[in-house]
Amino acid sequence: MLRKRVDNPPLRRSRPALPSRLGRIAARAAHGLGLLAAATLAGLPAAQPALAQSRQPNIIRDAEIEQLLRDYTRPIFKVAGLTQQNIQIVLVGSDSFNAFVADGRRIFINTGALKQSKTPNEIIGVLAHETGHIAGGHLSNMRQQLESVQTAAIVGMLLAAGGIAVGAAGGANMGGAAGALVAPQEIARRSLLSYQRGQEASADQAAVRYLTATKQSAKGMLTTFERFQNDQIFLSQRVDPYVLSHPMATERIALLSEMAKKSPYYDALDPPALQARHDMMRAKLVGFTQTPDSMIRLYPPSNTSLPARYARAISAYRYGSIPDAIRQIDALIAEQPGNPYFYELKGQALLEAGRAREAIPPLRRAVQLSEGHPLIRMLLGQALVATEDKATSEEAVRELTFSLQREPSSPAGWRYLAMAYGRKGDIPNADLASAQAAFMSGEFRSARELATRAKNAFPLGSPGWLKADDIINFKPPVDPRTKKKAGP
């Protein structure tokens, strides 16, 4: 099921105060290292990254797409020595073609990159590049570089300020002194950008090595850079390449082309089955994220392929009539009766149409075929709760508990679990689940109140008592801007 995860707590991060101009590029570096931020001009004011804002990021969850991306990255992580790191691939709801890492355990990739890529190899190349950042420890190294740049900038500013004071006393030219004040910041800024460009080049080279080691082509990486080469042509005539955080696309293509073509797998093609799954993913994203007019231009009725019918079925359920959508989904199921995501789609369409009881059989089948995927089991639990039938409460608790053990950061899942416990008459566990939902939403005061009520009802030292006690004793992070604790 494709859905936005908009109820997670905002990601917060403190960062040192830096001179304003240097601070802008430092903020970008602290945000993360990515594949295609090359057109970002470090010298221009920039909006704060979504993950650094107080508003919540537009994160998308979908079992089918996440499984495909895990299959893309599994061999890459293995040769990079990251199999045990439990790295997550996070979908960001944005139409731009981009990907980045913000820590050592998550790769963020925009849905726009998935929609625009024509082959699995293009996305695998993107993910291999981001893997290169994680394996190379670039984020940790960048923080160290930021510290040294900050020191250099501060020392330079102090020396320049001293020059201004002396100049003022002696009647010297103030314009020259003001220039001296700016120069250390500019030198430090360019030093940092040069360091980051080096890391990007290192990640590119690592990606080619990973692809060669896994017998895959690096041609998709070149295709990706070529896509952006034309976008940068107008910049190259009027932008200093030394104020970019990434190498220009033309430079990256030149550096990578020779290395990529030396691989014996340069002309290797993606397996047909993988290409078919990639095409289905793109169709799914189009069906969910674009208007019917946009969708029909990409997948007109004359296109009778499975991806085209998938996109039209999704669009029909979102914008058309549910009976027509169910008819189209049933046709997909008839063609691929072992595809769990078709059953999941049918269950989702019925549930959102207010037909929760009818949604349960296809969702149970989707759970079975997907070998118990936690996101699908969570949707089944939601449907069981939505029936408002006390007889389904036990099954709802079971499904939601299982899924939350693997997806504990879902406030919605905890809320549905609270309702399931409430319907059973288990008020302490209902309060505890409600406390978890509030906690995961960043509503720490409400979480403490609910947890206190639950703790008083549990036996001393029991698992429920301990979980409630953890929530009560949690110390919310302090917002570095307001110096106040985060959360209402």
**Residues 148 and 252 grouped into a single domain:** yes
Confidence band for 287, pLDDT divided at 50, 70 and 90: very high
pTM for the full predicted model: 0.76
pLDDT at 168: 40
**Residues 255 and 310 grouped into a single domain:** no
**Residues 290 and 252 grouped into a single domain:** no
**Residues 252 and 302 grouped into a single domain:** no
**Domain around 186:** 3-261
**Residues 228 and 298 grouped into a single domain:** no
Residue 452 resides in a domain: yes
The percentage of residues in the chain with a pLDDT greater than 90, rounded to a whole number, is 57
* Residue 137 CB partners (closer than 8 Å, separation 6+): 104
Confidence band for 34, pLDDT divided at 50, 70 and 90: low
pLDDT at 479: 61
**Residues 121 and 226 grouped into a single domain:** yes
Residue 307 resides in a domain: yes
**Residues 277 and 245 grouped into a single domain:** no
| β strands within 171-258, DSSP E | none
**Residues 218 and 279 grouped into a single domain:** no
**Residues 242 and 297 grouped into a single domain:** no
Indicate if the pLDDT at residue 22 is higher than 90. no
Nearest alpha carbon to residue 88 among 70, 76, 72, 100: 70
Task: List, as own/partner pairs, every contact residues 72-75 make where C-beta atoms lie below 8 angstroms and the sequence separation is at least 24, other chains included.
Answer: 72/120, 72/123, 72/124, 72/127, 73/107, 73/124, 73/127, 73/131, 75/214, 75/216
Confidence band for 202, pLDDT divided at 50, 70 and 90: confident
Q: Is the dihedral of CA 399, 401, 404, 410 positive or negative?
A: positive
Residue 477 resides in a domain: no
**Residues 297 and 224 grouped into a single domain:** no
pLDDT of 330-365, one tens digit each? 999 999 999 999 999 999 999 999 999 999 999 999
Q: Which residue's structure tokens are 């566990």?
A: 429
**Residues 256 and 319 grouped into a single domain:** no
**Residues 213 and 300 grouped into a single domain:** no
CATH number, position 402: 1.25.40.10
Residue 344 resides in a domain: yes
Confidence band for 54, pLDDT divided at 50, 70 and 90: very low
Residue 487 resides in a domain: no
Query: What is the rounded distance in angstroms from the CA atom of residue 400 to the CA atom of residue 382?
Result: 8
pLDDT at 1: 63
Nearest alpha carbon to residue 306 among 287, 323, 289: 287
Which of 239, 261, 283 is the endpoint of a domain?
261
Query: What is the rounded distance in angstroms from the CA atom of residue 321 to the CA atom of residue 323?
Result: 6
Residue 44 resides in a domain: yes
Mean pLDDT score of the chain: 78
Indicate if the pLDDT at residue 69 is higher than 80. yes
Number of domains in the chain: 2
How many other CB atoms are there within 10 angstroms of residue 435's CB atom? 27
pLDDT of 294-334, one tens digit each? 999 999 999 999 999 999 999 999 998 999 999 999 999 99
pLDDT at 11: 31
The maximal CA–CA distance of the chain, rounded, in angstroms, is: 89
pLDDT at 158: 47
Helix locations, 136-173, DSSP H: 138-170
- Token output for 205: 């080279």
